[in-house]
Structure 1
């Protein structure tokens, strides 16, 4: 009895259908790219076209913010620039280290503490969805009512907004580090703390910096929390711990709601200044990340 051979079954798709699917995917990708880039391009074009005429050295450095009725050529937004840098910078100093430490605890030490790690993860998820105005009211209730308006109160509010973003983004980056790197370090006799500091964190530093930058960018553009915590003054206040302060976001809100041409021009100029500050921070962060990654290889 002779064995019959079955004909081979070709599981490959037809070449024409593969090309059609490839073209469809390519078209969908370009449509999604255009849907993202075109609105962003319109926003940038509008802000630049309306705000570039207001930008000058006097606008960026003059520490006296004029009344809304005066033209944009009088005074400047130096006080708002200083207030934004001080308030956002101090908030970043508080939120970024705490956020990275929280992410490291959840990712690297969560298996040892199955009670506290899920609680931190849960509350970081909840805080991510909390509206910014709620954070402003929270800090107003527990701090401003007792100690008054100050840049420190604004930094607390912005730090509360930044913290969950840093935790979640850093946690996701730490999860992407291959376990083989950890296991190889353990095999050489390294402790968990040393592996975390010298292997895991350097491998994830690019994503951690990007997440921290995203948090800083969100905090720098927030208006509602600052309206409840720092007020809006017309002169520079470099004392973070005492007295009301101001920021670019609050000045944008204050000037954009006015019917005067000079006030609206100052609002567009402040918006462009805020975008440039965020761009410079992003560029510096990318440079630092690239050099740090190169040195750790």
Structure 2
């Protein structure tokens, strides 16, 4: 009878199969720190610059990460790490102009923003005794004009764009002639330059009203030409994301197509629809050329969109640099303040859109 010998236990350190063959947890941060140091030392020899330092750091980081991962891990993991590194670098490169623009606008415009600047109308006065021109900065006329012109454009464009997208997704057949024609026209309108939209609106109202056709409503029509295709495209994609199973389940219960769209499709896609609409509003609220052509600009307060020129924040920022007054520094400061106010308005509109999407979304999607 043979006796089974007990299994001997290994006396050396036990290797963990889950952690072998891979870089340490924070290896990428260590490599990045080393790349920053090496690139700084190399550039100190030939001339240091921030842009060159960042670019050289990215190159050294990707090369070092690929080599170390290939040696320690394997080729597949090395490729994955390099691709993730490239995506991260591309994201940071795309983030640089955005952060730089916001930082510049905030730094230049924060000193100009005040309650008096927001609530007063910009004007200039001449003192005959001292022969000096005093400029009073103000953006009330531009804020009101921006809200009126953009609001009218949104009231016209959103229903047209939303109903068009509903037709294309819910009613039109794939090869129907009208649907193909509408899609083609939307694609053409998407590529129309903004200045062409302004010329179109000004020419149209010049024929209807006369040569002095500057008005806020004319500028709103120009913005509609730019806003409608954006609303159609964004809403169309959001409606396509709604599962067909929801539509079929509604039809199986005997619900009409119109009720299915209103009570099932639109509430399901409401968050995406609001986001797309806000993208369209943000697309046109900062337009300068069409408003400058169709509504011109003025320092006077005008809240009537059907008569006389109107001022907007983008045009105020442009004219502050292109047509400064006697005090050039004050005009430039007013332009930066208008730019910062425009950014704040866009942020406020996006926050309102997020809140509305949260409120009106179906309970399971909140």
TM-score, with normalisation over the residues of structure 2? Answer: 0.73
Change in 2 beyond 3 A, CA 1:150/1:105: same
Is 201-210 or 159-168 further displaced after alignment? 201-210
Return the match for 1:286 from 354, 359, 364.
354
Query: Aligned partners of 2:187, 2:123: CA distance in 1, in Å?
Result: 39
Query: Aligned partners of 2:363, 2:219: CA distance in 1, in Å?
Result: 36
Task: Point out the structure with max Rg over C-alpha.
Answer: 2
Is the 8 Å Cα contact of residues 66 and 76 (structure 1) preserved in structure 2? no
Return the match for 1:107 from 162, 169, 174.
169
Query: Aligned partners of 2:229, 2:274: CA distance in 1, in Å?
Result: 14
Change in 2 beyond 3 A, CA 1:175/1:36: same
2:93 is matched with which residue? 35
Return the match for 1:21 from 61, 79, 83.
79
Change in 2 beyond 3 A, CA 1:31/1:71: farther
Structure with more relative contact order (C-alpha pairs < 8 Å, separation 6 or more) = 1
Post-superposition CA distance 1:187-211 (Å, at most 9, x none): 1111111111111111111111111
Is 15-24 or 152-161 further displaced after alignment? 15-24
1:70 Cα deviation after fit: 6.2
Query: Aligned partners of 1:128, 1:251: CA distance in 2, in Å?
Result: 26
- Map 1:202-217 to 2 at 5 A: 202-217=267-282
Change in 2 beyond 3 A, CA 1:112/1:32: closer
1:237 Cα deviation after fit: 1.0
2:204 is matched with which residue? 142
Post-superposition CA distance 1:213-248 (Å, at most 9, x none): 111111111011111111101121111222211111
Post-superposition CA distance 1:54-96 (Å, at most 9, x none): 10111111023448x9677x23011000000000011001101
Q: Could you list the runs of 5+ residues in structure 2 that have no partner in the other structure? A: 1-69, 126-131
Query: Aligned partners of 2:201, 2:152: CA distance in 1, in Å?
Result: 15
Q: Could you list the runs of 5+ residues in structure 1 that have no partner in the other structure? A: 1-13
1:146 Cα deviation after fit: 2.7
What's the secondary structure of 1:53's corresponding residue?
A: coil
1:294 Cα deviation after fit: 4.2
Query: Aligned partners of 2:88, 2:264: CA distance in 1, in Å?
Result: 38
Is 168-177 or 20-29 further displaced after alignment? 20-29
Change in 2 beyond 3 A, CA 1:214/1:256: same
TM-score, with normalisation over the residues of structure 1? Answer: 0.90
Q: Does 1:129 align with 2:191?
A: yes
1:116 is matched with which residue? 178
Query: Aligned partners of 1:189, 1:90: CA distance in 2, in Å?
Result: 39
2:109 is matched with which residue? 51
Give the RMSD, CA atoms, in angstroms. 1.9
Return the match for 1:245 from 310, 315, 322.
310
1:177 Cα deviation after fit: 1.0
Is the 8 Å Cα contact of residues 316 and 335 (structure 2) preserved in structure 1? yes
Is the 8 Å Cα contact of residues 64 and 234 (structure 1) preserved in structure 2? yes
Return the match for 2:329 from 254, 261, 265.
261
May I ask how many residue pairs the two structures share in their alignment? Answer: 282
Query: Aligned partners of 2:169, 2:239: CA distance in 1, in Å?
Result: 7
Query: Aligned partners of 2:311, 2:205: CA distance in 1, in Å?
Result: 18
Change in 2 beyond 3 A, CA 1:145/1:253: farther
